[in-house]
Structure 1
Amino acid sequence: MPSSSIAPCPACPPCSPGHRCAVYPSSSLTDAQWAVLEPMLPPPGNTTGRGGRPEKYCRRLILDAILYVVRGGIAWRQLPVEFPPASTVYGIFVRWVRAGVWQRIHDALRDRLRVRAGRDRCPTAAIVDSQTVPAADTVPGSRRGWDGGKRTNGVKRHIAVYVNGLLLAVMVTAASIQDRDAAHRLLAGLRGGFSTVRLVWGDGGYPGRLLGWAKSVLALQVEIIRRIPGACGFQVRPRVWVVERTFAWINKHRRCARAYENRPDHHEAVIHIAMIGLMTRRLART
């Protein structure tokens, strides 16, 4: 991890001159990124009529700490001393997972990027795929499984993306769950969030009764993109390469290269945070 340089935090209130932000080039928010994210954060509890004390640490510093963990893959308790206490940072992460904050921010950023690219906010097609990652000892045995094809003991991430690779839906299961079985829940969630989607592409892992079920129950047409017969080695297949690139974006964040979270919803939130960092960088360029 690169060394830090200490700079004043423009997000800290004037009454807190001691607050300072550590700038890590790969994870810390720039001023432009913070300008994009700040309006999307939930209001503090003490400003919504629910009582409570004012927040002790500035939110930009909290977000920098969470992005530092996701990008660097470290444990929460290994946060550098210039960040707030690990218990405070983790507590806010968990609180926002339960409130659905990370997904709401992610979806708002994705819609902004779609509109900026000249597309409609609501997609009409999606691509689905799964990825198996090994699980650390922090993941209980009841939430992991053995993937015989990948010879990996861990968890499986099932995602749906639109044609530019941005995330539409994510679901984390044990690695022993077959793609065609998990796809029922994934496609049902995709239909619930995006009523405009009509076409879904997938690889050879989604054959059989899934196609008829998706058409009759969800009004989704699922097209299977198969490998070229007789070909060996890696193949760049139409549409499928888009979702593989999304997995590469996610795996750049070391916290996502291996499963550490002991709850599936926490792992899904970490994936959303990784994509939030990517999308804010894109929006900040303009």
Structure 2
Amino acid sequence: MPYSSNLTDSEWEILEPLLDQILPTKKRTRPPNWTKREILDGIFYQLKNGCNWEDLPKDLPPYSTVYWYYKQWRAQGVLEELMRIIHSQIREQVKKKPKWTRLMMIDSQAVKNTCNASITSKGYCFYKSTNGIKRHLAVDTLGFPFFTHSTKGNLSDDAGLIEMLSKNIDYFKSKPVNIPKITILLDHGYHPEHLTIELKKIYPQIMTKIKFELSKKPSKQEKEVSGKSGFVPVVARWIIERSNSWMERCKILVKNFERTLDNATAKMNLCFIRLMVKRLAA
């Protein structure tokens, strides 16, 4: 029985060679009972519908098999590598440089924990009055992420950004100096001076590769002049807000159900993999 979360033939044509390229080769004594496409259909079903692994439909592979593959691919970094390659392909599709960008937007989203989530991944965010985790995204002008990261909810936006960029510091180290600096657009919850000091401790030359910029926030007078009131989308910043809302299409991401922060990040990666594959196939 086909489900709305299942991969189409054109989407599988994109993913199949990438999985063959990324997955480590193994010596097999007999062919597997389930194909990689069927395994992915099971993973994407759980992602979209937010059910327990045990509640996967019976016409999909057994939940223990689906979860075993998901756990292996997460631990081996397959999901991160898959997201990186697909992101490069989707940028090439719209005539952008596959790896480098001139504008990157970073933001965080506080998400409530459920009873399933572990207490070790829980923190109270006073700014959002949310007891749970924070999801950190660094996206391009298409709204698709270069980096994803999850932290406790009580960690500040600055500390979360530093953790995310430190984890991906090789990206900035490998950036050629003859390419214009990457402008990192932030909202007013971040403090560029503090970020600069802390990031220089990790990579002293990083400010030759990037620069921080706070997004312009319209004042009350500017709103009155333009005849607007209440919430007004900020130029460029609305892109990352849209990326945060895209994750709500996956019911498993409406709240945090994961016991570890690594699991929470893996589910974010899967969400964007699914969105980008759909965009590529279209």
Mark yes or no: TM-score above 0.5.
yes
Matches within 5 A, 1:1-286: 6=1, 23-25=2-4, 27-42=5-20, 48=25, 50-51=27-28, 53-124=30-101, 125-194=103-172, 195-196=174-175, 198-207=182-191, 208-214=193-199, 218-219=206-207, 220-230=210-220, 233-285=230-282
Judge which range, 265-274 or 217-226, deviates more.
Answer: 217-226
CA distance in 1, matches of 2:206, 2:69: 36
Whether the aligned pair in 2 keeps the contact of 1:44 and 1:54 (CA below 8 Å) is no
CA distance in 2, matches of 1:139, 1:176: 15
CA distance in 2, matches of 1:198, 1:115: 18
C-alpha change, 1:49 and 1:188, in structure 2 (3 Å) is closer
CA distance in 1, matches of 2:165, 2:236: 17
| 1:190, distance to aligned residue in structure 2 (A) | 4.1
| 1:212, distance to aligned residue in structure 2 (A) | 4.2
| 1:226, distance to aligned residue in structure 2 (A) | 4.4
| 1:214, distance to aligned residue in structure 2 (A) | 4.2
Whether the aligned pair in 1 keeps the contact of 2:118 and 2:258 (CA below 8 Å) is no
CA distance in 2, matches of 1:75, 1:133: 19
Whether the aligned pair in 2 keeps the contact of 1:214 and 1:221 (CA below 8 Å) is no
CA distance in 2, matches of 1:48, 1:176: 41
CA distance in 2, matches of 1:192, 1:48: 26
Q: Deviation per CA, 1:70-117: give whole Å up to 9, x if none.
A: 011111111011111111111100000011111111111110111110
**Structure 1 spans left out of the alignment, 5+ residues:** 1-5, 7-22
Whether the aligned pair in 1 keeps the contact of 2:39 and 2:61 (CA below 8 Å) is yes
C-alpha change, 1:140 and 1:245, in structure 2 (3 Å) is same
**Structure 2 spans left out of the alignment, 5+ residues:** 176-180, 224-228
| 1:43, distance to aligned residue in structure 2 (A) | 7.3
Judge which range, 219-228 or 148-157, deviates more.
Answer: 219-228
Aligned position for 2:178: none
CA distance in 2, matches of 1:188, 1:80: 40
C-alpha change, 1:82 and 1:51, in structure 2 (3 Å) is closer
C-alpha change, 1:227 and 1:251, in structure 2 (3 Å) is same
Q: Deviation per CA, 1:250-280: give whole Å up to 9, x if none.
A: 1211111111111111111111111111111
CA distance in 2, matches of 1:225, 1:181: 19
C-alpha change, 1:56 and 1:189, in structure 2 (3 Å) is same
| 1:247, distance to aligned residue in structure 2 (A) | 0.8
Whether the aligned pair in 1 keeps the contact of 2:138 and 2:146 (CA below 8 Å) is yes
| 1:49, distance to aligned residue in structure 2 (A) | 5.2
Larger relative helix fraction:
2
Judge which range, 48-57 or 121-130, deviates more.
Answer: 48-57
Q: Deviation per CA, 1:18-44: give whole Å up to 9, x if none.
A: xxxxx112x111010011111111479
Whether the aligned pair in 2 keeps the contact of 1:251 and 1:257 (CA below 8 Å) is yes
Q: Secondary structure at the match of 1:260?
A: coil
CA distance in 2, matches of 1:92, 1:184: 31
CA distance in 2, matches of 1:235, 1:43: 45
Q: Secondary structure at the match of 2:143?
A: coil
Q: Deviation per CA, 1:175-201: give whole Å up to 9, x if none.
A: 110101111112223442354362211
